[in-house]
Chains A and B, each alone.
Chain A
């Protein structure tokens, strides 16, 4: 069972800190991986949030999906789990 969420529709300026603050309200976060532009290596609107437990990740799906961060309605989806390389979006 995955404990990782894919978070989409983030602002390019949203930081790991902000994501931590919001998603940390649902449980203990293991790590956050910022999605980066392939070429420029700058944030490009998505990230992965991995929790220690499935329950905490479910809470985030329930209570954060469709609410605002940095004035944008963000989307959360289940993710199979992060593997190196997937942090790079289409440049």
Chain B
């Protein structure tokens, strides 16, 4: 192996920069840039061949939006140097196989597409590509495999066809037709139980929400009807036809999909997000129809730009707006649809919500004449379609909208939405507005938000957040703990120790003592202490945290068991019911300091005391953050236990090989590792129990509702039902990787055949995501 000298490094870096930047904006034409680069690389091939191949392979996967630039470049190099072409293809195929084996399916799909485009550039023989496609599509004939496996292989083939369909049609029509027949058969027999779980809207009006493979197949069939000619892909290789047609082609080796096993995680299916059609675009070029292949190609291209640039929102916005064919399509609308498609994607969004929000703000800055209008139109349309929108998506929409407004002085034509103030406040529209205003309040302050909306919206404006200290209320004289509360207030103010508060609390009688000799907890002590402590820390989050930290030992003592913890959380609610954000951060603090357990939080949220707020977003904010906290904890212990086990095993191996034992390595003992593993098992069980509690409580309240509606002969489809059943769905989807571990337990313990079909359906749709 040659040593990398500093000169080599310079040249290699230069090559990397030259290659990765070709196709970007430039003063000269793309063709002349490509020609120039091909000559430079040809000259460098003798010394830097491996490096050049490596860079090009990387670009194929990492810069898919410039795919045809790179396939053309490879084509030009292949025409000059046949061996290079061969080695490049060999390397790319090796990568493809590796990606398939390591379950990097999206990267693998991009390589498949790239290989297809290499047929156009006369690098690969059409017949050998078709052979690979045949192998892929043959997966649909395998027995006992999950549908997601065959779906992926078919999808990989279909998404390459806009590029290479025409070549296959011209050169291998018979074989190509056969392939398409096999795909058609497959598409017609797929199960689609999962679709309701993934749809953003339950209604197909005004736009059908199609399953992704169905939609793709419809688009490809249209492409076939157009003789495989599309209007979207830029094909720089056409300019080099005379050079490329002279080149010799390579034959792809056999590429056989790795066989299936239980462990493999295939990509989940999706539903295509659509919010605009040509009637929504007032002027300029029309938006391609939903079954036009161009619609897919633009969406895919924009998605790739976002993926490449999502870590730099300014670059991302600029790159989106300089889309190659921006004058031939209604670009602002397409960007908007793709961005919202990402935001609303189920089961989970591929990006943080704030990435979408801040990039949309950048787009408004760069395109101030049109983008804000398109976004306003989008917000208006989304609002109009709230009634059938999924709860999770309504929440994401509300979070984004509040954030967006906060960057634009909260100005919005609220008066247009006044109708929502006349209907049942549990209906999606008033609820959405109330949640938006709540989130606006969290980013701003009460007066500002009250002033931002018309008088008629006052019922939807959140009340001013305030701590309520009931022992200072009028009529507090009736409260049994009043005297103690006041004394406690005094001693804490005079900077007492935690122990001294216990002395004060001691005098309180336990109201539970009348019913039982051994009360599980002491509700009155908890009440007096928690109310007073939170009241004293009410000034800010920091003050509250400081108060909790100082008296953590007292809190832990009072809330020894789950009953006590739930009681503590109820008292927190009494104090802070008008300040959801405070409850969110306080619960978080109580969990982190292990004053309360995750299961106590879940049980509290489902308790009767929380029923008035049960459909509010903040309750679910707390629920999901609790689940996330639990899973982070499990992950951490898993990692620690695994590392410790590895270290111990390595040390044992060393010892067995007769190597000296090194004290400095901090190798854990067998007992230590076992203890860690026991601890891990314990928290894994806690995690499982948490999910079981949540699902069980869902089943109970939903069953209650359905039974009550049936006995009273009223429609069960109430607004409350919509929120709750869709929150159940959300828990499945938002934590799908975790919940899948428990699927058999859930099936045998909770989601059994005797529960109501409406509840069972949610579970079945979830299971179908991976079946």
Q: A17-B582, A18-B444, A68-B407 known; 20 other A-B pairs, CB under 8 Å?
A: A15-B540, A16-B540, A16-B541, A17-B540, A17-B541, A20-B581, A22-B443, A25-B403, A31-B542, A32-B541, A33-B542, A34-B542, A59-B352, A62-B313, A62-B355, A63-B352, A63-B355, A63-B357, A69-B406, A69-B443
- Chain A positions within 8 Å of B277 at CB level: none
Within 8 A of A (CB), among B576-590: 581-582, 585
Q: A16 vs B540: C-alpha distance in the bound complex, in angstroms?
A: 7
Interface residues on A, range: 20 to 34
Q: A13 vs B32: C-alpha distance in the bound complex, in angstroms?
A: 57
B295 at the interface (CB under 8 A from A): no
Within 8 A of B (CB), among A20-58: 20-22, 25-26, 31-34
Q: A68 vs B399: C-alpha distance in the bound complex, in angstroms?
A: 15
Q: Is A32 within 8 A of B313, CB to CB?
A: no
Q: A82 vs B542: C-alpha distance in the bound complex, in angstroms?
A: 15
Nearest first, the 7 closest Cβ-Cβ pairs linking A and B are A21-B442, A63-B358, A68-B407, A25-B354, A63-B354, A16-B540, A16-B541
Q: A62 vs B406: C-alpha distance in the bound complex, in angstroms?
A: 18
- Chain A positions within 8 Å of B355 at CB level: 62-63
Total chain B interface residues with beta-carbon distance under 8 A: 27
Number of contacts between A and B (CB, 8 Å)?
Answer: 60
Q: A67 vs B581: C-alpha distance in the bound complex, in angstroms?
A: 22
Within 8 A of A (CB), among B240-257: none
B361 at the interface (CB under 8 A from A): yes
Within 8 A of B (CB), among A45-91: 59, 62-64, 67-71
Partner of B354, one of A64, A68, A70: A64
Q: A22 vs B312: C-alpha distance in the bound complex, in angstroms?
A: 18
Sample of 20 A–B contacts (CB below 8 Å)? A15-B540, A16-B541, A16-B542, A17-B442, A18-B442, A18-B444, A20-B541, A20-B581, A22-B443, A25-B353, A25-B399, A33-B542, A59-B352, A59-B354, A62-B358, A63-B355, A67-B407, A68-B406, A69-B443, A71-B409
Q: A62 vs B409: C-alpha distance in the bound complex, in angstroms?
A: 22
Chain B binding surface, main DSSP class: helix
Name the CB-closest residue of A to B443.
A21
B281 at the interface (CB under 8 A from A): no
- Chain B positions within 8 Å of A67 at CB level: 358, 361, 407
- Chain A positions within 8 Å of B403 at CB level: 25
B interface, CB within 8 angstroms of A: 311-313, 352-355, 357-358, 361, 399, 403, 406-407, 409, 439, 442-445, 540-542, 545, 581-582, 585
Q: Least Cβ distance of B639 to chain A in Å?
A: 14
Q: Least Cβ distance of A49 to chain B in Å?
A: 12
- Among A16, A21, A59, A70: residue with most chain B CB under 10 A: A21
Q: Least Cβ distance of A50 to chain B in Å?
A: 12
Q: A17 vs B264: C-alpha distance in the bound complex, in angstroms?
A: 44
Name the CB-closest residue of A to B439.
A21
Q: A67 vs B443: C-alpha distance in the bound complex, in angstroms?
A: 13
Q: Is A62 within 8 A of B407, CB to CB?
A: no
Q: Is A26 within 8 A of B406, CB to CB?
A: no
Q: A12 vs B544: C-alpha distance in the bound complex, in angstroms?
A: 21
- Chain A positions within 8 Å of B439 at CB level: 21
Q: A62 vs B358: C-alpha distance in the bound complex, in angstroms?
A: 9
Q: Is A63 within 8 A of B313, CB to CB?
A: yes
- Chain B positions within 8 Å of A13 at CB level: 445
Q: A17 vs B583: C-alpha distance in the bound complex, in angstroms?
A: 12
Name the CB-closest residue of B to A60.
B354
